Chain A
Amino acid sequence: MEIFLDSFFNFQIMSEASPLLIRGLGTTALLCLVVIPLGLIGGLTVALMALSRSPWLRWGTIALIDFFRAVPPLVLLIFIYSGLPFADIELSPFTAVCVGFFLNNSAYYAEIYRAGIESVGVGQMEAARSTGLKKIQALVYVVLPQATRNVLPDLLSNTIEVVKLTSIASVVALQELLYSADMARSVTYNSSPIVMAAGIYLLILWPVVRMLSNLEHKVGK
Protein backbone atom coordinates (compact mmCIF):
# COMPACT_ATOMS: atom_id res chain seq x y z
CA MET A 1 0.00 0.00 0.00
CA GLU A 2 2.80 2.35 0.93
CA ILE A 3 4.59 1.63 -2.34
CA PHE A 4 1.35 2.25 -4.20
CA LEU A 5 0.80 5.63 -2.52
CA ASP A 6 4.43 6.55 -3.01
CA SER A 7 4.41 5.76 -6.74
CA PHE A 8 1.03 7.24 -7.64
CA PHE A 9 0.07 9.78 -4.99
CA ASN A 10 3.37 11.26 -3.92
CA PHE A 11 2.24 14.72 -2.82
CA GLN A 12 5.73 16.13 -2.56
CA ILE A 13 6.46 15.32 -6.20
CA MET A 14 3.01 16.57 -7.17
CA SER A 15 3.55 19.93 -5.54
CA GLU A 16 6.99 20.24 -7.13
CA ALA A 17 5.54 19.43 -10.55
CA SER A 18 2.49 21.64 -10.20
CA PRO A 19 3.93 24.87 -11.72
CA LEU A 20 4.95 22.86 -14.80
CA LEU A 21 1.55 21.21 -15.03
CA ILE A 22 -0.30 24.48 -14.63
CA ARG A 23 1.68 25.96 -17.50
CA GLY A 24 0.81 22.84 -19.50
CA LEU A 25 -2.84 23.26 -18.62
CA GLY A 26 -2.65 26.82 -19.99
CA THR A 27 -1.37 25.51 -23.32
CA THR A 28 -4.10 22.86 -23.40
CA ALA A 29 -6.71 25.55 -22.74
CA LEU A 30 -5.30 27.79 -25.46
CA LEU A 31 -5.27 24.85 -27.87
CA CYS A 32 -8.93 24.10 -27.08
CA LEU A 33 -9.85 27.76 -27.56
CA VAL A 34 -8.34 27.63 -31.05
CA VAL A 35 -9.30 24.17 -32.31
CA ILE A 36 -12.90 23.92 -31.07
CA PRO A 37 -14.18 27.09 -32.83
CA LEU A 38 -12.10 26.22 -35.91
CA GLY A 39 -13.62 22.74 -35.99
CA LEU A 40 -17.16 24.04 -35.50
CA ILE A 41 -16.83 26.59 -38.30
CA GLY A 42 -15.05 24.15 -40.60
CA GLY A 43 -17.61 21.47 -39.83
CA LEU A 44 -20.57 23.70 -40.60
CA THR A 45 -19.01 24.78 -43.89
CA VAL A 46 -18.24 21.21 -44.88
CA ALA A 47 -21.75 20.09 -43.88
CA LEU A 48 -23.30 22.73 -46.14
CA MET A 49 -21.01 21.57 -48.95
CA ALA A 50 -22.07 17.96 -48.34
CA LEU A 51 -25.72 19.00 -48.65
CA SER A 52 -25.12 20.96 -51.85
CA ARG A 53 -27.33 20.31 -54.86
CA SER A 54 -24.35 19.77 -57.14
CA PRO A 55 -23.60 16.02 -57.09
CA TRP A 56 -19.88 16.61 -57.75
CA LEU A 57 -19.49 18.88 -54.75
CA ARG A 58 -21.70 16.65 -52.62
CA TRP A 59 -19.92 13.35 -53.32
CA GLY A 60 -16.50 15.00 -53.34
CA THR A 61 -17.17 16.41 -49.89
CA ILE A 62 -18.51 13.12 -48.53
CA ALA A 63 -15.40 11.32 -49.84
CA LEU A 64 -13.25 13.92 -48.11
CA ILE A 65 -15.17 13.51 -44.84
CA ASP A 66 -14.73 9.74 -44.95
CA PHE A 67 -11.06 10.13 -45.80
CA PHE A 68 -10.39 12.23 -42.71
CA ARG A 69 -12.56 9.97 -40.55
CA ALA A 70 -10.51 6.97 -41.69
CA VAL A 71 -7.09 8.40 -40.81
CA PRO A 72 -6.31 8.16 -37.08
CA PRO A 73 -5.68 11.69 -35.76
CA LEU A 74 -2.23 10.75 -34.49
CA VAL A 75 -1.21 9.50 -37.94
CA LEU A 76 -2.45 12.74 -39.50
CA LEU A 77 -0.61 14.78 -36.91
CA ILE A 78 2.69 12.94 -37.33
CA PHE A 79 2.35 13.15 -41.09
CA ILE A 80 1.88 16.92 -40.91
CA TYR A 81 4.59 17.44 -38.33
CA SER A 82 7.34 15.13 -39.58
CA GLY A 83 6.28 14.24 -43.12
CA LEU A 84 5.54 17.66 -44.59
CA PRO A 85 9.01 19.14 -43.80
CA PHE A 86 10.26 16.81 -46.58
CA ALA A 87 8.11 18.88 -48.95
CA ASP A 88 9.58 22.07 -47.48
CA ILE A 89 6.52 22.81 -45.38
CA GLU A 90 7.75 23.19 -41.84
CA LEU A 91 5.23 23.98 -39.13
CA SER A 92 5.69 24.67 -35.45
CA PRO A 93 4.14 22.01 -33.15
CA PHE A 94 1.26 24.35 -32.28
CA THR A 95 0.44 25.14 -35.92
CA ALA A 96 0.80 21.48 -36.92
CA VAL A 97 -1.65 20.47 -34.20
CA CYS A 98 -4.10 23.20 -35.24
CA VAL A 99 -3.97 22.14 -38.91
CA GLY A 100 -4.34 18.44 -38.08
CA PHE A 101 -7.19 19.08 -35.67
CA PHE A 102 -8.91 21.39 -38.14
CA LEU A 103 -8.93 18.66 -40.81
CA ASN A 104 -9.98 15.89 -38.45
CA ASN A 105 -12.53 17.83 -36.37
CA SER A 106 -14.17 19.48 -39.36
CA ALA A 107 -14.98 16.02 -40.74
CA TYR A 108 -16.55 14.88 -37.47
CA TYR A 109 -18.46 18.09 -36.76
CA ALA A 110 -19.63 18.11 -40.40
CA GLU A 111 -21.27 14.70 -40.00
CA ILE A 112 -23.09 15.94 -36.90
CA TYR A 113 -24.27 19.17 -38.51
CA ARG A 114 -25.36 17.26 -41.60
CA ALA A 115 -27.51 14.92 -39.51
CA GLY A 116 -28.90 17.96 -37.68
CA ILE A 117 -29.79 19.87 -40.82
CA GLU A 118 -31.35 16.76 -42.35
CA SER A 119 -33.46 16.32 -39.21
CA VAL A 120 -35.17 19.66 -39.84
CA GLY A 121 -38.06 19.14 -42.25
CA VAL A 122 -37.88 20.62 -45.75
CA GLY A 123 -41.12 22.43 -44.93
CA GLN A 124 -39.22 24.72 -42.55
CA MET A 125 -36.99 25.98 -45.34
CA GLU A 126 -39.93 26.34 -47.72
CA ALA A 127 -42.04 28.19 -45.17
CA ALA A 128 -39.15 30.53 -44.34
CA ARG A 129 -38.49 31.22 -48.00
CA SER A 130 -42.18 31.92 -48.63
CA THR A 131 -42.20 34.60 -45.95
CA GLY A 132 -39.64 36.43 -48.08
CA LEU A 133 -36.42 35.43 -46.32
CA LYS A 134 -33.42 34.87 -48.55
CA LYS A 135 -31.95 31.38 -48.59
CA ILE A 136 -29.04 32.35 -46.35
CA GLN A 137 -31.38 34.12 -43.90
CA ALA A 138 -33.68 31.11 -43.79
CA LEU A 139 -30.65 28.93 -43.07
CA VAL A 140 -29.26 31.14 -40.32
CA TYR A 141 -32.49 32.13 -38.59
CA VAL A 142 -34.75 29.11 -39.14
CA VAL A 143 -32.93 25.90 -40.04
CA LEU A 144 -29.63 26.10 -38.13
CA PRO A 145 -31.08 26.96 -34.69
CA GLN A 146 -33.37 23.93 -34.88
CA ALA A 147 -30.64 21.73 -36.34
CA THR A 148 -28.19 22.70 -33.60
CA ARG A 149 -30.74 22.00 -30.88
CA ASN A 150 -31.50 18.56 -32.31
CA VAL A 151 -27.86 17.45 -32.29
CA LEU A 152 -26.71 19.29 -29.17
CA PRO A 153 -25.76 16.07 -27.32
CA ASP A 154 -23.64 14.92 -30.27
CA LEU A 155 -21.95 18.31 -30.57
CA LEU A 156 -21.16 18.25 -26.86
CA SER A 157 -19.94 14.66 -27.00
CA ASN A 158 -17.63 15.44 -29.91
CA THR A 159 -16.31 18.51 -28.14
CA ILE A 160 -15.39 16.34 -25.14
CA GLU A 161 -13.55 14.04 -27.53
CA VAL A 162 -11.68 17.04 -28.98
CA VAL A 163 -10.57 18.20 -25.54
CA LYS A 164 -9.34 14.68 -24.74
CA LEU A 165 -7.67 14.46 -28.13
CA THR A 166 -5.51 17.52 -27.45
CA SER A 167 -3.40 15.14 -25.32
CA ILE A 168 -1.93 13.60 -28.50
CA ALA A 169 -0.21 16.94 -29.15
CA SER A 170 2.31 15.73 -26.54
CA VAL A 171 3.65 13.30 -29.16
CA VAL A 172 4.89 16.19 -31.32
CA ALA A 173 6.45 17.87 -28.26
CA LEU A 174 3.85 20.56 -27.78
CA GLN A 175 4.14 21.36 -24.10
CA GLU A 176 0.54 20.87 -23.11
CA LEU A 177 -0.76 19.19 -19.95
CA LEU A 178 0.15 15.58 -20.72
CA TYR A 179 3.56 16.48 -22.15
CA SER A 180 4.43 18.44 -19.00
CA ALA A 181 3.24 15.60 -16.80
CA ASP A 182 5.24 13.04 -18.75
CA MET A 183 8.31 15.25 -18.60
CA ALA A 184 7.94 15.50 -14.82
CA ARG A 185 7.50 11.71 -14.69
CA SER A 186 10.69 11.03 -16.59
CA VAL A 187 12.66 13.44 -14.40
CA THR A 188 11.37 12.08 -11.09
CA TYR A 189 10.96 8.40 -12.11
CA ASN A 190 7.56 8.58 -10.45
CA SER A 191 4.06 8.42 -11.96
CA SER A 192 2.44 10.89 -9.58
CA PRO A 193 2.59 13.80 -12.10
CA ILE A 194 0.59 11.70 -14.61
CA VAL A 195 -1.95 10.86 -11.91
CA MET A 196 -2.16 14.59 -11.24
CA ALA A 197 -2.72 15.31 -14.94
CA ALA A 198 -5.42 12.62 -14.99
CA GLY A 199 -6.99 14.33 -11.97
CA ILE A 200 -7.03 17.66 -13.81
CA TYR A 201 -8.65 16.13 -16.89
CA LEU A 202 -11.21 14.44 -14.65
CA LEU A 203 -11.94 17.65 -12.77
CA ILE A 204 -12.66 19.47 -16.03
CA LEU A 205 -14.39 16.74 -18.02
CA TRP A 206 -16.32 14.70 -15.46
CA PRO A 207 -19.00 17.37 -14.92
CA VAL A 208 -19.35 17.77 -18.68
CA VAL A 209 -19.66 14.00 -19.17
CA ARG A 210 -22.34 13.88 -16.45
CA MET A 211 -24.17 16.78 -18.10
CA LEU A 212 -23.98 14.97 -21.43
CA SER A 213 -25.45 11.79 -19.93
CA ASN A 214 -28.37 13.74 -18.50
CA LEU A 215 -28.88 15.57 -21.78
CA GLU A 216 -28.84 12.29 -23.72
CA HIS A 217 -31.43 10.73 -21.45
CA LYS A 218 -33.61 13.82 -21.70
CA VAL A 219 -33.49 13.94 -25.49
CA GLY A 220 -34.10 10.20 -25.64
CA LYS A 221 -37.38 10.59 -23.75
Chain B
Amino acid sequence: MNTSETFSRWDLFTETFFNQRLIDEYSGAIAKGILITCEIAVLVVFTGIALGLLLAMLRSYRFLPINVFISCFVDILRSLPPLVLILLAYFGLPSIGFSMSGFLVLWLVLSLILAAFAEEIFWAGILSIRRGQWEAARSTGLGHTQTIVYVIIPQAIRMTVAPLTNRTIAITKNTALGTVIGVGEILNQASTAQSFSGNATPLMMGAIAYIVLFIPVVAIGRWIETRFAWRRI
Protein backbone atom coordinates (compact mmCIF):
# COMPACT_ATOMS: atom_id res chain seq x y z
CA MET B 1 0.00 0.00 0.00
CA ASN B 2 2.62 2.41 1.11
CA THR B 3 5.05 1.62 -1.72
CA SER B 4 2.35 1.80 -4.37
CA GLU B 5 1.31 5.18 -3.04
CA THR B 6 4.83 6.62 -3.21
CA PHE B 7 5.17 5.06 -6.63
CA SER B 8 2.06 6.81 -7.90
CA ARG B 9 3.13 10.11 -6.39
CA TRP B 10 6.46 9.79 -8.16
CA ASP B 11 4.56 8.99 -11.35
CA LEU B 12 2.44 12.06 -10.90
CA PHE B 13 5.55 14.16 -10.42
CA THR B 14 7.25 12.93 -13.61
CA GLU B 15 3.93 13.19 -15.41
CA THR B 16 3.64 16.90 -14.56
CA PHE B 17 7.29 17.98 -14.79
CA PHE B 18 8.98 15.50 -17.17
CA ASN B 19 6.16 14.31 -19.40
CA GLN B 20 7.79 12.43 -22.31
CA ARG B 21 4.93 13.10 -24.74
CA LEU B 22 5.10 16.85 -24.12
CA ILE B 23 8.88 16.86 -24.29
CA ASP B 24 8.62 15.40 -27.78
CA GLU B 25 5.83 17.76 -28.74
CA TYR B 26 7.45 21.00 -27.59
CA SER B 27 11.18 20.42 -28.05
CA GLY B 28 10.91 22.11 -31.46
CA ALA B 29 9.38 25.24 -29.94
CA ILE B 30 11.98 25.37 -27.17
CA ALA B 31 14.77 24.94 -29.74
CA LYS B 32 13.34 27.87 -31.68
CA GLY B 33 13.28 29.88 -28.45
CA ILE B 34 16.93 29.02 -27.78
CA LEU B 35 17.83 30.28 -31.25
CA ILE B 36 16.01 33.59 -30.74
CA THR B 37 17.50 34.07 -27.26
CA CYS B 38 20.99 33.50 -28.68
CA GLU B 39 20.37 35.87 -31.60
CA ILE B 40 19.25 38.71 -29.36
CA ALA B 41 22.01 38.04 -26.83
CA VAL B 42 24.75 38.19 -29.49
CA LEU B 43 23.30 41.32 -31.10
CA VAL B 44 22.97 43.06 -27.74
CA VAL B 45 26.51 42.20 -26.68
CA PHE B 46 27.99 43.59 -29.90
CA THR B 47 25.96 46.78 -30.24
CA GLY B 48 25.95 47.49 -26.50
CA ILE B 49 29.69 47.15 -25.98
CA ALA B 50 30.54 48.97 -29.23
CA LEU B 51 28.27 51.89 -28.35
CA GLY B 52 29.64 51.97 -24.79
CA LEU B 53 33.21 52.10 -26.04
CA LEU B 54 32.33 54.81 -28.54
CA LEU B 55 30.70 56.93 -25.82
CA ALA B 56 33.67 56.50 -23.48
CA MET B 57 36.02 57.61 -26.26
CA LEU B 58 33.83 60.60 -27.04
CA ARG B 59 33.87 61.51 -23.37
CA SER B 60 37.67 61.61 -23.37
CA TYR B 61 37.58 64.72 -25.61
CA ARG B 62 36.12 66.47 -22.56
CA PHE B 63 33.75 68.63 -24.58
CA LEU B 64 31.32 69.88 -21.95
CA PRO B 65 27.89 69.65 -23.67
CA ILE B 66 28.66 66.14 -24.93
CA ASN B 67 29.91 65.03 -21.52
CA VAL B 68 26.81 66.33 -19.76
CA PHE B 69 24.69 64.46 -22.27
CA ILE B 70 26.68 61.22 -21.84
CA SER B 71 26.57 61.45 -18.03
CA CYS B 72 22.81 61.94 -18.04
CA PHE B 73 22.28 59.12 -20.54
CA VAL B 74 24.40 56.76 -18.42
CA ASP B 75 22.78 57.72 -15.12
CA ILE B 76 19.24 57.46 -16.43
CA LEU B 77 19.78 54.08 -18.03
CA ARG B 78 21.50 52.81 -14.91
CA SER B 79 18.61 53.96 -12.71
CA LEU B 80 15.64 52.67 -14.68
CA PRO B 81 14.46 49.05 -14.50
CA PRO B 82 14.84 47.44 -17.96
CA LEU B 83 11.20 46.34 -17.95
CA VAL B 84 10.03 49.96 -17.60
CA LEU B 85 12.01 50.95 -20.70
CA ILE B 86 10.79 47.92 -22.61
CA LEU B 87 7.12 48.69 -21.90
CA LEU B 88 7.65 52.37 -22.64
CA ALA B 89 9.30 51.68 -26.00
CA TYR B 90 6.92 48.94 -27.03
CA PHE B 91 3.63 50.58 -26.06
CA GLY B 92 4.59 54.25 -26.07
CA LEU B 93 6.58 54.80 -29.27
CA PRO B 94 3.82 53.64 -31.68
CA SER B 95 1.67 56.60 -30.56
CA ILE B 96 4.26 59.00 -31.99
CA GLY B 97 4.70 56.98 -35.15
CA PHE B 98 7.58 54.62 -34.30
CA SER B 99 6.18 51.12 -34.48
CA MET B 100 8.78 48.49 -33.73
CA SER B 101 8.56 44.72 -33.39
CA GLY B 102 9.12 43.21 -29.95
CA PHE B 103 12.43 41.81 -31.18
CA LEU B 104 13.64 45.26 -32.24
CA VAL B 105 12.49 46.88 -28.98
CA LEU B 106 14.26 44.25 -26.88
CA TRP B 107 17.45 44.61 -28.91
CA LEU B 108 17.37 48.40 -28.75
CA VAL B 109 16.58 48.70 -25.03
CA LEU B 110 19.04 46.07 -23.83
CA SER B 111 21.77 47.50 -26.09
CA LEU B 112 21.27 50.98 -24.68
CA ILE B 113 21.39 49.66 -21.10
CA LEU B 114 24.53 47.63 -21.76
CA ALA B 115 26.05 50.68 -23.51
CA ALA B 116 25.43 52.80 -20.41
CA PHE B 117 27.09 50.32 -18.06
CA ALA B 118 29.91 49.63 -20.55
CA GLU B 119 30.58 53.36 -20.96
CA GLU B 120 30.96 53.72 -17.20
CA ILE B 121 33.33 50.75 -17.04
CA PHE B 122 35.43 51.86 -20.04
CA TRP B 123 35.57 55.41 -18.71
CA ALA B 124 36.85 54.15 -15.35
CA GLY B 125 39.45 52.17 -17.29
CA ILE B 126 40.49 55.22 -19.31
CA LEU B 127 40.77 57.34 -16.14
CA SER B 128 42.97 54.69 -14.53
CA ILE B 129 45.68 55.18 -17.19
CA ARG B 130 48.29 57.53 -15.87
CA ARG B 131 48.71 61.02 -17.36
CA GLY B 132 52.25 60.20 -18.45
CA GLN B 133 50.91 57.75 -21.02
CA TRP B 134 48.85 60.53 -22.61
CA GLU B 135 51.69 63.00 -22.54
CA ALA B 136 54.23 60.53 -23.92
CA ALA B 137 51.89 59.50 -26.74
CA ARG B 138 51.04 63.10 -27.65
CA SER B 139 54.71 64.14 -27.57
CA THR B 140 55.57 61.50 -30.19
CA GLY B 141 53.22 63.34 -32.51
CA LEU B 142 50.06 61.23 -32.17
CA GLY B 143 46.75 63.11 -32.25
CA HIS B 144 44.09 62.73 -29.55
CA THR B 145 42.17 60.08 -31.47
CA GLN B 146 45.31 58.13 -32.28
CA THR B 147 46.42 58.29 -28.62
CA ILE B 148 43.05 56.96 -27.48
CA VAL B 149 42.92 54.16 -30.05
CA TYR B 150 46.54 52.99 -30.01
CA VAL B 151 47.77 53.81 -26.50
CA ILE B 152 45.01 54.30 -23.96
CA ILE B 153 42.28 51.81 -24.97
CA PRO B 154 44.61 48.78 -25.30
CA GLN B 155 45.82 49.36 -21.74
CA ALA B 156 42.40 50.27 -20.36
CA ILE B 157 40.66 47.21 -21.86
CA ARG B 158 42.56 44.83 -19.59
CA MET B 159 41.09 46.41 -16.49
CA THR B 160 37.58 46.42 -17.88
CA VAL B 161 37.38 42.74 -18.80
CA ALA B 162 36.17 41.40 -15.43
CA PRO B 163 33.46 43.98 -14.59
CA LEU B 164 32.34 44.12 -18.21
CA THR B 165 31.93 40.33 -18.40
CA ASN B 166 29.77 40.28 -15.28
CA ARG B 167 27.59 43.10 -16.51
CA THR B 168 27.25 41.59 -19.97
CA ILE B 169 26.12 38.26 -18.52
CA ALA B 170 23.56 40.02 -16.33
CA ILE B 171 22.14 41.90 -19.30
CA THR B 172 21.98 38.91 -21.66
CA LYS B 173 19.85 37.17 -19.04
CA ASN B 174 17.40 40.04 -19.38
CA THR B 175 16.47 38.67 -22.81
CA ALA B 176 13.86 36.71 -20.80
CA LEU B 177 12.01 40.02 -20.31
CA GLY B 178 11.13 39.85 -24.01
CA THR B 179 8.38 37.41 -23.11
CA VAL B 180 6.33 40.34 -21.77
CA ILE B 181 6.18 41.94 -25.23
CA GLY B 182 5.73 38.67 -27.07
CA VAL B 183 9.26 38.02 -28.33
CA GLY B 184 9.41 34.27 -28.97
CA GLU B 185 12.46 33.55 -26.85
CA ILE B 186 12.81 30.54 -24.52
CA LEU B 187 10.61 31.75 -21.66
CA ASN B 188 7.89 32.87 -24.06
CA GLN B 189 7.83 29.53 -25.89
CA ALA B 190 7.83 27.69 -22.56
CA SER B 191 5.00 29.62 -20.96
CA THR B 192 2.90 29.53 -24.12
CA ALA B 193 3.35 25.75 -24.29
CA GLN B 194 2.56 25.50 -20.60
CA SER B 195 -0.77 27.26 -20.93
CA PHE B 196 -1.67 25.18 -24.02
CA SER B 197 -0.83 21.86 -22.39
CA GLY B 198 -1.85 22.65 -18.81
CA ASN B 199 1.32 20.95 -17.67
CA ALA B 200 4.56 22.17 -16.11
CA THR B 201 6.83 20.14 -18.40
CA PRO B 202 7.45 22.92 -20.98
CA LEU B 203 8.37 25.31 -18.16
CA MET B 204 10.83 22.77 -16.82
CA MET B 205 12.29 22.39 -20.33
CA GLY B 206 12.67 26.16 -20.59
CA ALA B 207 14.39 26.38 -17.22
CA ILE B 208 16.75 23.57 -18.20
CA ALA B 209 17.49 25.30 -21.52
CA TYR B 210 18.49 28.46 -19.66
CA ILE B 211 20.68 26.52 -17.26
CA VAL B 212 22.41 24.65 -20.09
CA LEU B 213 22.96 27.95 -21.91
CA PHE B 214 24.11 30.06 -19.00
CA ILE B 215 26.03 27.72 -16.66
CA PRO B 216 29.01 27.69 -19.08
CA VAL B 217 28.73 31.47 -19.43
CA VAL B 218 28.74 31.95 -15.65
CA ALA B 219 31.66 29.53 -15.32
CA ILE B 220 33.65 31.39 -18.00
CA GLY B 221 32.79 34.65 -16.23
CA ARG B 222 34.14 33.24 -12.99
CA TRP B 223 37.35 32.19 -14.74
CA ILE B 224 37.76 35.59 -16.40
CA GLU B 225 37.19 37.29 -13.07
CA THR B 226 40.16 35.52 -11.46
CA ARG B 227 42.28 35.77 -14.60
CA PHE B 228 41.75 39.50 -15.19
CA ALA B 229 41.15 40.62 -11.62
CA TRP B 230 41.08 44.43 -11.37
CA ARG B 231 44.56 45.30 -10.21
CA ARG B 232 46.24 48.63 -10.27
CA ILE B 233 49.68 48.28 -11.79
Contacts and interface: CB of A to CB of B under 8 A. Distances in A.
A164 B113 CA distance: 13
B17 A82 contact: no
Given A79-B203, A170-B83, A206-B75, A70 B187 contact: no
A202 B76 contact: yes
Given A79-B207, A178-B81, A185 B91 contact: yes
Contacts of B95: 3, 7, 190-191
Query: In the complex, which of the residues A66, A67, A86, A195 has the most CB atoms of chain B within 10 Å of its own CB atom?
Result: A86
B207 A75 contact: yes
A135 B187 CA distance: 45
Contacts, number: 139
Contact of A198 (B13, B84, B213): B84
Q: Interface residues of B toward A: which range?
A: 35 or more
Contacts of A209: 75, 78-79
Given A70-B217, A171-B180, A178 B187 contact: no
Consensus secondary structure, chain B interface? helix
Interface string B176-203: 1101100000110001001000011001
B142 interface: no
A76 B206 CA distance: 10
Nearest to A197: B84
Interface string B87-111: 1100110011000000000000000
A74 B179 contact: yes
B132 to A, nearest CB: 17
A201 interface: yes
A66 to B, nearest CB: 5
A82 B75 contact: no
Interface string A164-180: 11111011000000100
A140 B97 CA distance: 58
A220 B88 contact: no
B219 interface: yes
A213 B71 CA distance: 11
Contact of A191 (B88, B124, B194): B88
B87 A72 contact: no
A72 B81 contact: no
Query: In the complex, which of the residues A69, A72, A74, A210 has the most CB atoms of chain B within 10 Å of its own CB atom?
Result: A72
A78 interface: yes
B92 A8 contact: yes
A4 B175 CA distance: 28
B71 to A, nearest CB: 9
A149 interface: no
Contacts of B128: 220
B210 A70 contact: yes
B211 interface: yes
B103 to A, nearest CB: 17
Contact of A7 (B16, B92, B215, B219): B92
A191 B91 contact: yes
A216 interface: yes
B67 interface: no
A8 to B, nearest CB: 6
A87 B176 contact: no
A165 B81 contact: yes
B35 to A, nearest CB: 17
Contacts of A202: 76, 79-80
A71 B180 CA distance: 17
A84 B206 CA distance: 14
Nearest to A76: B207
Given A83-B203, A194-B91, 20 more contacts: A7-B92, A70-B214, A71-B207, A74-B179, A75-B187, A75-B207, A79-B203, A83-B17, A83-B204, A160-B78, A171-B180, A178-B87, A185-B91, A195-B88, A201-B80, A201-B81, A202-B79, A209-B75, A213-B75, A217-B124
28 contacts: A4-B96, A7-B96, A69-B214, A69-B218, A70-B210, A70-B215, A70-B218, A74-B187, A78-B187, A78-B191, A79-B207, A82-B200, A86-B16, A86-B200, A87-B13, A164-B80, A164-B81, A165-B81, A168-B177, A178-B87, A190-B95, A194-B87, A194-B91, A194-B92, A198-B88, A202-B76, A213-B120, A217-B127
